[in-house]
């Protein structure tokens, strides 16, 4: 290839790399990424709440079970004392059994009261539990929607980047190795511009203005020179973009 062709390849490469940078910036700035992270943060907070509510529900159920067991025992005791009372004819024994029966009846009333209030508590916990479950479901749906949107938009951008990278590889292969290396090095270290172009009396890489002497020297030289300010490869020849 001629020097003029190398100059054209460098210009094409610069355009491709600029395009890649722009696309990469678009990927990085996709709003979905932040949205997904926000939703995940809210999910974690909700998960803590869900665990608290679950523990409350568990405690309420356990308390209710204890009350129910004791109620059953109380009922058995009442029937037993009642049966004994039915058979009793001795005054002192009867009086003692009646007193015991009163105690058991008192306890029974208390158990009923406690069970009712515990059931109310359980109902409230169940309501909160349902609210939390709905909120979790809503967040999951949101995360899914954001993830799908991100995949769709991000996937298209990444495919475009991959296409450009492919084109870059093919172009780079046509350059002399030293020139390709120099371009790649500048691309990494010099603000993403591997080769500059001469625009009037300015370098497109550093925007430095060249003196008449520098300009004349570059224009007399090969189509690919070097910017005296930023040392980038500098395409001096007129190229079709």
Interface with Zn ion (CB under 5 A):
203, 205-206, 227, 229-230
Q: Which of 157, 230 has the CB closer to Zn ion?
A: 230
Closest to 65 measured CA to CA, from 105, 115, 120: 115
Q: Which of 205, 225 has the CB closer to Zn ion?
A: 205
Q: Which residues of 16-44 are buried (b: 16+ CB within 10 A; e: fewer)?
A: bbebbbebeeebeebebeebbeebeebbe
Q: Which of 63, 229 has the CB closer to Zn ion?
A: 229
Min CB(208)–Zn ion separation in Å: 5
Instruction: Let me know: does 235 contact 7? Beta carbons within 8 Å.
Output: yes
Cβ atoms within 10 A of the Cβ of 80, count? 12
Q: Which of 111, 206 has the CB closer to Zn ion?
A: 206
Alpha-carbon span 149 to 141, nearest angstrom: 12
Six-digit token pair at 143? 């995360």
Min CB(214)–Zn ion separation in Å: 11
Min CB(207)–Zn ion separation in Å: 7
Q: Which of 154, 208 has the CB closer to Zn ion?
A: 208
Alpha-carbon span 168 to 149, nearest angstrom: 28
Min CB(41)–Zn ion separation in Å: 45
Min CB(182)–Zn ion separation in Å: 14
Min CB(151)–Zn ion separation in Å: 40
Instruction: Let me know: does 230 contact 197? Beta carbons within 8 Å.
Output: no
Q: Which of 7, 203 has the CB closer to Zn ion?
A: 203
Please provide the distance, in angstroms rounded to a whole number, between the alpha carbons at the two ends of the chain: 18
């Amino acid at each position: 290839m001629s020097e003029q062709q190398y100059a054209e390849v460098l210009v094409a490469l610069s355009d491709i790399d600029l395009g890649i940078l722009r696309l990469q910036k678009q990927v990085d700035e996709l709003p979905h990424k932040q949205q997904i992270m926000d939703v995940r943060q809210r999910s974690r907070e909700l998960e803590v709440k869900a665990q608290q509510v679950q523990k409350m529900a568990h405690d309420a159920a356990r308390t209710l079970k204890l009350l129910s067991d004791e109620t059953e025992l109380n009922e058995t005791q009442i029937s037993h004392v009642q049966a004994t009372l039915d058979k009793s004819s001795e005054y002192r024994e009867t009086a003692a059994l009646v007193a015991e029966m009163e105690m058991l009846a008192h306890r029974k009333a208390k158990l009923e009261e406690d069970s009712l209030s515990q059931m109310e508590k359980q109902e409230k916990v169940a309501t909160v539990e349902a609210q939390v479950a709905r909120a979790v479901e809503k967040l999951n749906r949101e995360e899914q929607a954001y993830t799908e949107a991100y995949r769709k938009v991000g996937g298209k951008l990444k495919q475009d980047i991959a296409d450009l990278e492919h084109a870059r590889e093919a172009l780079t292969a046509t350059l002399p190795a030293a020139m390709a290396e120099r371009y790649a090095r500048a691309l990494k270290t010099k603000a993403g511009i591997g080769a500059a172009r001469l625009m009037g009396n300015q370098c497109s890489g550093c925007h430095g203005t060249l003196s008449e002497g520098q300009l004349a020297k570059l224009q007399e030289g090969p189509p690919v020179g070097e910017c005296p300010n930023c040392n980038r490869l500098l395409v001096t020849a007129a190229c079709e973009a």
